[in-house]
Chains A and B, each alone.
Chain A
Amino acid sequence: MRVKPSRAALVVFLGPALAAIGVFFFLPVLAAFVMSFTDFDVYSLGNLQFVRFVGFRNYLQLFQDPLFWKALKNTLYFLLVGGPLSIGVSLGAAVLLQSRLVRFQSFFRFAYFAPVVTTLVAVAVVWRYIYHPRFGVLNFLLGLVGINPIDWLGDPAWAMPAIMLMAVWKNFGYNMIIFIAGLQNIPQSLYEAASIDGAGAIQRFATITLPLLAPTTLFISIITMIGYFQLFAEPYVMTQGGPLNSTLSLVLLMYQQGFRWWNMGYSAALAFVLFAFILAASVIQTRLQRKGGE
């Protein structure tokens, strides 16, 4: 039986939540949006007289800023290489952990998930040791197979791959858990039927696991993309965007413009451009996957 809720009940139950969202989410977003059309900066902070409405100038200037393009390129590089890599590793780990051949499943599940809940700063410190050009264990291992040492975080060509590797290691556990949940929803009987029909392991994976995991994969790829678009903490802690801006991401640029140089207007404009990118990418991704599913 459905009871039509009274207005009073609506206010009592929804009011507080809506008010909180309004004050702490919509209002700041609106303020930032307005700010993106002003030249709010350190002068304005001292005296509000020194704010001007500048229309779309921040946006126009943004598209002429070589640093913006550099940051966009870096972010896309991270997203397009690191994203699929991360999802692939997650899926691989999930399938392995679901397999009955693996023992100590819960131990591995814990071990792979541990980096996700570890503080990034602590992780970064340890990885800086791993990447150390002279004493790092990674170069030591490469040295054993005769590869010359690489200055992982100091070489513009290697810094981003180094960040990617660390980010994938740190984050794949989270997606892995979601994949495991997805895998557990696939009825075992399908696999048994396929085995009886003579399908091999690879065939079973391609024709049963992947299609039935599609909704999970869509969810994960969108979440991962949104997260990877907002790459910030890893380069902030590890490289500060260097060397030669090779690890400067959009959010790091936004942070530098906003909190280092205090160009809040410019920084807000960058935030909305980033928002537009993420929105567009999410829509495209959803469309593509729907089409693929039909």
Chain B
Amino acid sequence: MGAEGENVQQLLPEFERRHPDIRVRLQIIPWTAAHEKLLTAYAGNATPDVCQLGNTWIPEFIILNALEPLDQRLRSSAGIHDSSYFPGIRETNMVDGILYGIPWYVDTRVLFYRKDILARVGYSQPPRTWEEWHDVCQRIVDTGPETEHYAMLLPTTEWPPPVILGMQTGSRFLRDRDTYGDFSGPEFSRAFTFYIDFFNRRYAPVGLMSVTNIYQSFAEGYFAMYITGPWNIGEFRRRLPPALQDAWMTAPLPGPDINTPGMSLAGGSSLVMFSASSKKDEVWKLIEFLSEPEQQVRFYRITGDLPARTEAWQDTSLTENPYVRAFLAQLKHVGSTPKIPQWEQIAMKVQDYAEIAARKTKTVQQSLEALDREVDLILEKRRWMVNAR
């Protein structure tokens, strides 16, 4: 899919050389159309043998019985082992204790920040706790240029920040076997209040109109911190002016207090095998091949996608990249979102209500209650199914 689809082509000739009897037919589909396309393919009995699947999509395809369990094959595999993966990432591929996907590349979100701006307000290290986080924000908006500037960028078109903060306070987001929303529960309320405070205290701008180009705004010092993923390492390197190249860094996310490491989102893509495939042994060989640390490093060099295999992280191309270090640290503290097919739909609602609360159309409490109501509506079918079982 997307850039991965284009770039995996460079790895395939090697695979076909090793297995002359196997020909891989690759179909590249853009990310924006992938979900629809795969569901439609399922409805039309035309699923591929193997494909990459975003971690959050896996539960949906499991419910469709479209995916092949992989535990058996993994146990007898010579090349891949359970221990080769970050536990939090591997966990996203399991439902009810059964493994359905082999992590291919991983991503999570960390803090990208301006070293120079943080140093100017007395932070030679990035914030480690929520308290320090708000403190550094306060100092940044209090000092600095006369022109309008903020400490954080928290676009309300992104659902991960509020969800990550909720994860950090221990929210499960849903309750009663994921059949009701639990956003107005104490854990998420605490996280959401903290999140909305970034807007209320003017640490972060509301709305996106002012930031048409995040790279330019980051370079101008319009904001100093941004929660984002590994794809932006390459973008920041390419798009920030040379003079600023030493002035930015990445850091693991701050946690609620000093004893609780800041969790982040377990993201990335896995390789899955479709149960309708007639070439499962060949598919497994391809999955094993793409999971070899060597291929993972090659893929990282081509795409910048962080390897899922922990062995691959020992390669110098990763150890010598200072921006990647924060990701390695963060990947040890990642969690997954609820594993139900409606999650993406729910995440969109979280995003809607984050914007509503940030714009003060509703209070935090009202927003979360309204959010729960909408989520309950989305989960109506699931409640019926869980109760019927």
Question: B27: shortest Cβ distance to chain A, in Å?
Answer: 19
Indicate whether A46 sits within 8 Å of B36 (C-beta atoms), given known contacts A151-B209, A154-B209, A261-B345.
no
B5 within 8 A of A: no
A155 within 8 A of B: yes
Which single residue of chain A is at the shortest CB-CB distance from B63? A46
Assess whether A133 is in contact with B63, with CB atoms less than 8 Å apart.
no
Assess whether A45 is in contact with B42, with CB atoms less than 8 Å apart.
yes
Q: Interface majority SS on B: helix, strand, loop or mixed?
A: helix
| A45 contact from B32, B64, B344, Cβ within 8 A | B64
B residues 352-389 near A (Cβ < 8 Å) are 355, 377, 381-382, 384-385
Which single residue of chain B is at the shortest CB-CB distance from A156? B209
Alpha-carbon separation in the docked complex, A203 to B60 (Å): 66
A residues 196-244 near B (Cβ < 8 Å) are 240, 242-244
Stretch at the interface among A5-13, A36-44, A178-186, A270-278: A36-44
Assess whether A259 is in contact with B381, with CB atoms less than 8 Å apart.
no
B40 within 8 A of A: yes
Assess whether B39 is in contact with A262, with CB atoms less than 8 Å apart.
yes
Indicate whether A42 sits within 8 Å of B384 (C-beta atoms), given known contacts A133-B212, A154-B209.
no
B65 within 8 A of A: yes
Residues of B within 8 Å of A261, CB to CB, are 342, 344-345
A4 within 8 A of B: no
A108 within 8 A of B: no
Indicate whether A39 sits within 8 Å of B381 (C-beta atoms), given known contacts A259-B39, A262-B39.
yes
Question: A91: shortest Cβ distance to chain B, in Å?
Answer: 37
Assess whether A42 is in contact with B212, with CB atoms less than 8 Å apart.
no
| A50 contact from B40, B42, B385, Cβ within 8 A | B385
Question: B62: shortest Cβ distance to chain A, in Å?
Answer: 9
Assess whether A42 is in contact with B341, with CB atoms less than 8 Å apart.
yes
Which single residue of chain B is at the shortest CB-CB distance from A57? B380
A52 within 8 A of B: yes
Alpha-carbon separation in the docked complex, A69 to B63 (Å): 32
Residues of A within 8 Å of B46, CB to CB, are none
Assess whether B381 is in contact with A41, with CB atoms less than 8 Å apart.
yes
Question: A282: shortest Cβ distance to chain B, in Å?
Answer: 31
- Of residues B32, B344, B381, B384, which shows the largest number of chain A Cβ atoms within 10 Å of its Cβ? B381
Alpha-carbon separation in the docked complex, A133 to B42 (Å): 40
How many residues does chain A have at the interface if contact means C-beta atoms less than 8 Å apart? Answer: 23
Assess whether A260 is in contact with B35, with CB atoms less than 8 Å apart.
yes
Assess whether B39 is in contact with A155, with CB atoms less than 8 Å apart.
no
B residues 67-88 near A (Cβ < 8 Å) are none
Question: B199: shortest Cβ distance to chain A, in Å?
Answer: 16
- Of residues A39, A45, A133, A242, which shows the largest number of chain B Cβ atoms within 10 Å of its Cβ? A45
Assess whether B39 is in contact with A45, with CB atoms less than 8 Å apart.
yes
Question: B386: shortest Cβ distance to chain A, in Å?
Answer: 11
Residues of A within 8 Å of B213, CB to CB, are 134
Assess whether A45 is in contact with B65, with CB atoms less than 8 Å apart.
no
Assess whether B64 is in contact with A46, with CB atoms less than 8 Å apart.
yes
Which single residue of chain A is at the shortest CB-CB distance from B216? A134
Assess whether A52 is in contact with B64, with CB atoms less than 8 Å apart.
no
Assess whether B209 is in contact with A43, with CB atoms less than 8 Å apart.
no
Question: B155: shortest Cβ distance to chain A, in Å?
Answer: 11
Residues of A within 8 Å of B382, CB to CB, are 43
Question: B370: shortest Cβ distance to chain A, in Å?
Answer: 10
| B36 contact from A61, A154, A260, Cβ within 8 A | A260
Residues of B within 8 Å of A259, CB to CB, are 36, 39-40
Assess whether B64 is in contact with A151, with CB atoms less than 8 Å apart.
no
Question: B353: shortest Cβ distance to chain A, in Å?
Answer: 12
Alpha-carbon separation in the docked complex, A191 to B39 (Å): 61
B208 within 8 A of A: yes
Q: Give 1 or 0 for each of A23-61: 1 = CB within 8 Å of chain B CB.
A: 000000000000000010111011100101000000001
- Of residues B42, B157, B209, B382, which shows the largest number of chain A Cβ atoms within 10 Å of its Cβ? B209
Indicate whether A43 sits within 8 Å of B381 (C-beta atoms), given known contacts A154-B212, A260-B36, A261-B345.
yes
B43 within 8 A of A: yes
Assess whether B63 is in contact with A42, with CB atoms less than 8 Å apart.
yes
Assess whether B384 is in contact with A52, with CB atoms less than 8 Å apart.
yes
Question: B271: shortest Cβ distance to chain A, in Å?
Answer: 21
Question: B133: shortest Cβ distance to chain A, in Å?
Answer: 28
Alpha-carbon separation in the docked complex, A46 to B45 (Å): 12
Alpha-carbon separation in the docked complex, A259 to B34 (Å): 11
Alpha-carbon separation in the docked complex, A151 to B209 (Å): 8
Which single residue of chain B is at the shortest CB-CB distance from A47? B65
Residues of B within 8 Å of A47, CB to CB, are 65
Alpha-carbon separation in the docked complex, A272 to B381 (Å): 22
Interface CB pairs A-B, < 8 A, 6: A45-B42, A46-B64, A133-B212, A151-B209, A259-B40, A261-B345
A residues with CB within 8 A of B: 39, 41-43, 45-47, 50, 52, 61, 133-134, 151, 154-155, 240, 242-244, 259-262
Known: A39-B381, A50-B385, A260-B35; 18 extra A-B contacts, CB below 8 A, are A42-B39, A42-B60, A43-B381, A43-B382, A45-B64, A46-B63, A46-B64, A46-B65, A52-B384, A151-B209, A151-B212, A154-B208, A240-B32, A242-B157, A243-B157, A260-B36, A261-B344, A261-B345
B residues with CB within 8 A of A: 32, 35-36, 39-40, 42-43, 60, 63-66, 157, 208-209, 212-213, 341-342, 344-345, 355, 377, 381-382, 384-385
The 3 A-B residue pairs with the shortest CB-CB distance in the complex, in nearest-first order: A46-B64, A259-B36, A261-B345
